[in-house]
Amino acid sequence: MYHALLANRYLTSRVIPMVAVGAVALCVALVIIVVSVMTGFLDMVRSSGRTLMGDVIVAYPVNGIPHYERLIARIEALPEAEAATAVVDGWGLLRMPYPAGARKDSKAVQFWSIEPAGFARVTGYDDTLYWRPPTDEVSETDFRRELPS
């Protein structure tokens, strides 16, 4: 009983202990909020990564994997694997359509060459892909008109 009376008297007699208790409570609330937000962010990054690349990547740098069709067949034969596909990854230069005139900018780009049906089975990208079929009303000259000059 004496301990509770002493603690109550010490905490309520001055403002500084109340400020300290409030600061600790605020810090605990801040930690809880940050952990919950970062957990949601981590889950979002994981699901985005699976949509883009799948769960497991088997790679052989620079040269690629010879006879990859046999490797894909062996992977798909495993009961743990749902699907597998080949992706060719490389670097290139892209000549941009701007600025106007003869001098155009070139940018280094990373490209992927995929087999669409197999890549869609692995990643499910066909559910997230937005594609609008061309119409007769839109021509190449209309597209050039939309580019910044």
At 10-62, the pLDDT tens digits run 777 777 777 888 999 999 999 999 999 999 998 888 877 777 777 788 888 77
Tell me the three state secondary structure of residue 98.
coil
Tens digit of each residue's pLDDT (9 = 90 or more) over 52-73: 777 788 888 777 888 889 999 9
Q: What is the pLDDT of residue 109?
A: 92
CA distances from 23 to 8, 12, 15, 27, 36 (A): 18, 16, 12, 6, 20
Q: Is 106 helix (H, G, I), strand (E, B) or coil?
A: strand
Looking at residue 77, its amino acid is A
For the chain, give the mean pLDDT: 81
Domain ranges of the chain: 2-50, 54-146
Radius of gyration over alpha carbons of the chain, in Å? 29
